[in-house]
Amino acid sequence: MSLKQVKKWVSRITTYVLFAALIVMAVVVVSSKASGGEPEIAGYQLKTVLSGSMEPGIQTGSLIAVKPDGDMKRFKDGDVITFMDKEEKLITHRITEVMASGEQVMYRTKGDNNNAEDLEPVLSENVVAEYTGFTIPYLGYLVNFAQSRNGAFLLLIPGILLLCYSGLTIWRTLGEIEKQNKKGDQKLEEGRSLSS
């Protein structure tokens, strides 16, 4: 592979990476602002896991997808749910026991990495969503950062870089076209001078 081909591939890969970063960040920022803080795609909410209580299955800083719809009394032992605790904090833990009393359903929960069950059972009305099994390690750190004021500002950088790179590429292409036109004009002039 020649140096020119390598540069061409690096150029394409750089363009695709910058474009993908711009699109992902735009979707995350816009969806989180539109839904009041929680990024949502196709009915699934994206949540950031900030503790290691569910490791190794869900690592600290992971981005997970949860499904918020449905009957929150339907869960069984082994299901992983996201619920609101007394301090209005979201927690994602596994159900270890379902306790039903008439219409009332409560769940005992435990983090996979914790030694003991959570102190208080979770009322079904405090369940926010069911974990879908989809997780992307460490992307949650980036999403949290993107939702901050500084993060939203800094994430404009991929867009600016992409625009600058596109401008540079267009400028170079126009320069090449101009060079080819000049060469064509010179050959045409040479051809005319030879024929006369």
Instruction: Write down how long the chain is.
Output: 196
In whole angstroms, give the CA distance from residue 20 to residue 82: 29
In whole angstroms, give the CA distance from residue 3 to residue 115: 57
Pairing of strands 80-84, 63-67: unpaired
CB 107 within 8 A of CB 99: yes
In whole angstroms, give the CA distance from residue 48 to residue 153: 20
CB 65 within 8 A of CB 46: yes
Please pick, among 2, 11, 51, 62, the residue that the annotation labels catalytic. Answer: 51
| 11 labelled catalytic | no
- Give the C-alpha distances (Å, rounded to integers) separating 117 from 86, 108, 120, 141, 166: 16, 7, 8, 27, 54
Q: Which residues are catalytic?
A: 51
